[in-house]
Amino acid sequence: MSGPHQNGHPHAHAHRHGLREALHFVSRFITRPGTVGSIWPSSRQLGEAMIQQVNLKPGDVVVEYGPGTGPFTSVLRERMPAGVEYLGIEFDHELHRNLVRRFPGMRFHHGSAEDTADILASHGLGRARLIVSGLPFANMPENLQARIIQETSKALQCDGTFRTFTYLLSSLNPSTVHFRRLVADHFHDHHGSRTVVRNFPPARVLSYSKPVRKNN
Ligand SMILES: C[S@@+](CC[C@H](N)C(=O)[O-])C[C@H]1O[C@@H](n2cnc3c(N)ncnc32)[C@H](O)[C@@H]1O
């Protein structure tokens, strides 16, 4: 018998594949910590918290920044109603290629979240109802943080939601404090935060909505 499961149980294949991707992720963390920003992919629990209480409907556009090995993408694939348009924007070439292979039927763009509005337009998509970010904002230079947040504000529809996360241990880190101020300046509402301890390291989900009109 030929095919992907010829060497054993399908779950064993999926497990080996997931492990290989996780190891690629770790190697990227070691070689480019400012791009990957985390030692290990996020947990499913963090993925669930990232999309909790967002009511999507057919025709809505969902953008994911930095899907990486796809922990949030898997949750989105299960939870998005039919007719929602998904676009993942991934900067790393190999991670992008693996995403295309692993999630057939979902759309991924190899590029940077700094260019979200143009990327959406190039795919014939309108503004997003939901932007979910897996980006390592706390490890990014402040000018890059600012460019991405401005772009997020531009690419999100008026009643749209922006979800991101920070690690609990980095809450007092000056770069995290700067990032939180920056986001607060661009969005009307901050809907509190939710702590997810079943993640390595434990994380806090931040949820924002309604971009300030002057940036629209
Ligand atoms: C901390 S990892 C998170 C991956 C995954 N979302 C998770 O939670 O496990 C950050 C991801 O963002 C990607 N990335 C970094 N900078 C980016 C940018 N400017 N635009 C798009 N993706 C970027 C990295 O290649 C990496 O896959």
Per-residue pLDDT of the chain (216 residues; tens, 9 = 90+): 333 333 344 444 455 556 777 777 666 666 665 565 666 789 999 999 999 989 999 999 999 999 999 999 999 999 999 999 999 999 999 999 999 999 999 999 999 999 999 999 999 999 999 999 999 898 899 999 999 999 999 999 998 999 999 998 888 889 999 999 999 888 877 776 789 999 999 999 999 986 545 544
- Asked if residue 138 is part of any domain, the answer here is yes
Ligand 1 site, CB within 6 A: 35-38, 41-42, 65-69, 71-72, 89-92, 95, 112-114, 134-136
Q: Which ligand 1 atom is nearest residue 134's CA?
A: 6
Has residue 182 been placed in a domain?
yes
**Could you tell me if residue 38 is inside a domain?**
no
Q: Please report the atom of ligand 1 found closest to the CA of residue 35.
A: 15
In a domain, 135, yes or no: yes
Q: Determine the pLDDT at residue 127.
A: 97
pLDDT at residue number 170 = 84
**What's the CA-to-centroid distance between 135 and ligand 1, angstroms?**
5
| CA 90–ligand 1 middle distance (angstroms) | 6
Judge whether 33 lies within some domain: no
Residue 31's pLDDT is 65
Probe target for ligand 1 pocket from 92, 137, 164, with the most ligand atoms within 8 Å of CB: 92
Question: For residue 158, is it within any domain?
Answer: yes
- Total number of domains constituting the chain: 1
Domain hosting 144: range is 57-215
Is 96 part of any domain? yes
CA of 36 to the centre of ligand 1 (A): 5
Considering the entire predicted model, what is its pTM? Answer: 0.85
Per-residue pLDDT, 72: 97
Confidence (pLDDT) at 8? 41
Tokens of 207: 């949820």
pLDDT value at residue 40: 79
Identify whether 124 is part of a domain.
yes
Report the CATH number at residue 144.
3.40.50.150
3-state secondary structure 35-104: HHCCCCCCCHHHHHHHHCCCCCCCCCEEEEECCCCCHHHHHHHHHCCCCCEEEEEECCHHHHHHHHHHCC
